[in-house]
Structure 1
Amino acid sequence: MRKATYFTPRTEVPAQTELITDRSVVTEAYTVIPRGALRDSVVSELPGWNRTATWILNRPVASGATTFSQYLLEVAAGGGSTDPEPEEGVEGFIFILEGRLTLTLERDEHELEPGGFAFLPAGYPWTAKNIQTEPAKFQWIRKAYQPLAGYEPAPIIGNEREMDASGMPGTDNKWRTTRMIPTDDLAYDMHVNIVTFEAGAVIPFAETHVMEHGLYVLEGKSVYRLNQDWVEIQEGDYVSLRAFCPQACYAGGPGNFRYLLYKDMNRHVQLT
């Protein structure tokens, strides 16, 4: 089986001789943050985290995606946090791109390597530390949990490299999804998947749905249909989509096109 790869951008500030032109796009329906925009000059330092650089990819904003935040973090050797989540009622999902991260849930210690992930229920104590010599780079998705009577989500630890992907019907397994959170359990109000397209595979219709998306490209490139626009995206790019933004894609090759995908799920629309 081909080994999965997970791209992380170079973050140093470009030379003065480079052109400014890039592919950044912000609209009311979607936002595209190309990997070239993730530079040291736009880094954030998070309270409670040490030796950690953070690029904030999404936050709830008017006329944008409102259900979640998403970060790219780089934790240097010896860095991390003993109190990472600052808000009550907020759940999280971590996905390792590069290096290793030691995650402690209550008293249980887990070493996550590339492809490793953790779903962290709201109110569940956890810590994160890099005890290696190389930096640990990972995605962190945060969402306000919507409780449901009679249901209680549990922590999940795993590695996508050890999981089976489900092929979409009629695609000869060239469009497939690895689901890291159970899709048949109403305790979970968010899903995080890895979607894989082989070269030439497509989403053959404009999906239009209530779920918002955060999409981080792990590998490859494609042309993505966003609302009425066709936009080129590649590994290291980030895309956020508001509810009902039409979307489709064509994987151009030569290799696979793969991305980490967040979506909100399994709850009524809140009206009051």
Structure 2
Amino acid sequence: MILPEIASTYAFPPGGLPPQDTDPAGSAIFTQAYAVLPANTQRDIVTSLLPGWDGARAWILARPLSGFAETFAQLAVELAPGGGSATPEPDANGQAAILVASGALRLTIAGARHDLKAGHFAYVPAGTAWEICNTSDAPACFHWVRKRFEPIGAGDPLAPVVLHEADAPRNAMPGCEGVWETQRFLDPADIRYDFHVNIVSFAPGGRIPFAETHVMEHGLYVLQGTARYLLNTDWVEVGPGDFMWLRAFCPQACIATGTEPFRYLLYKDVNRHPALSLR
């Protein structure tokens, strides 16, 4: 069985505010091993304004927390028409991975201009000047993963990467007959990268067939479809716009449900020795 070719969608926080007659009981979870921020919690009143940005608001979904996930921050950013930033990254060692969810964006990296639409991915190396703006008359939305770069010595610097998801190879996982695929935007064999951001896809009924338990921290934003997801000892129902945040060694697995592919944007830290002391 091969994953079907259907229109890809890229979920994003819904914003707004539920009506007053809504039952406030929800499915948000925060534990010592993982957190789940359902799409229904990503509302206007939890957004942040960012220094150095105009016409922008952000849902900060993950940030380093002592004793939890410590390597990355993840944001969903909405730009009003004309909004953006000429100085988006405040940390001189900060890297960026961006996936456009909707709208039209102009991304300039080291003077090179790129016009982006839904499905475009971009990687900006640490120390590289970049700018981003909304060039349309409607809001433009993107997912933004930030990580402080951990260099491994002298060598060729990393180059920016810009490509559309449609041009990223669909790599079938071994022994699963194509029902589980990963699109890797950064070369997995290049040890210079200290994190990866991928799109992982499952056909309905596809699954991670064991409880993965590993050192990598994860941020998982569900772009499309539904699944039952194992987080530590709990099976959780997730769907478009839900965000899962896993600390190191949290067991995880999933079974895709519904009638369309289950797809999520995945962050993980890779390719570095573990520190031998607490930072």
Is TM > 0.5 for Structure 1 vs Structure 2?
A: yes
Other structure's SS at 1:206 match:
strand
| CA deviation map 1:242-270 (0-9, x unaligned) | 00000000101211100000000000001
CA distance in 1, matches of 2:92, 2:273: 22
Select which of 194, 202, 213 maps to 1:197: 202
Is the aligned partner of 1:208 residue 2:203? no
- The alpha carbon displacement at 1:2 in A equals 2.1
Q: Which residue of 1 aligns with 2:20?
A: 16
- The alpha carbon displacement at 1:13 in A equals 1.0
Select which of 169, 181, 192 maps to 1:164: 169
- The alpha carbon displacement at 1:8 in A equals 2.0
Other structure's SS at 1:41 match:
helix
Other structure's SS at 2:40 match:
helix
CA distance in 1, matches of 2:262, 2:67: 28
The RMSD of aligned alpha carbons is 0.9
Is the aligned partner of 1:43 residue 2:47? yes
Q: Which residue of 2 aligns with 1:246?
A: 251
CA distance in 2, matches of 1:136, 1:204: 37
- The alpha carbon displacement at 1:187 in A equals 1.1
CA distance in 2, matches of 1:142, 1:6: 19
Asked if the contact 2:88/2:131 (under 8 Å) is kept, the reply is: yes
Q: Which contiguous aligned blocks of 4+ residues in structure 1 show a shift greater than 2 angstroms?
A: none
Asked if the contact 2:12/2:76 (under 8 Å) is kept, the reply is: no
Q: Which residue of 2 aligns with 1:84?
A: 88
Is the aligned partner of 1:5 residue 2:22? no
| CA deviation map 1:42-83 (0-9, x unaligned) | 110000011001000001112321100000000010000000
Other structure's SS at 1:60 match:
coil
CA distance in 2, matches of 1:253, 1:200: 8
Residue identity opposite 1:4 in structure 2: S
CA distance in 1, matches of 2:95, 2:135: 24
Select which of 56, 59, 69 maps to 1:55: 59
Other structure's SS at 1:204 match:
strand
Other structure's SS at 1:203 match:
strand
Structure-1-length-normalised TM-score: 0.98
CA distance in 1, matches of 2:145, 2:187: 17
| CA deviation map 1:68-101 (0-9, x unaligned) | 0000000010000000001111111111001111
**What percentage of aligned pairs have identical amino acids?**
46
Residue identity opposite 2:46 in structure 1: V
- Alignment gaps of 5+ in structure 2: none
Q: Which residue of 1 aligns with 2:33?
A: 29
CA distance in 1, matches of 2:61, 2:131: 22
Select which of 237, 257, 260 maps to 2:262: 257
Structure-2-length-normalised TM-score: 0.96
Is the aligned partner of 1:110 residue 2:117? no
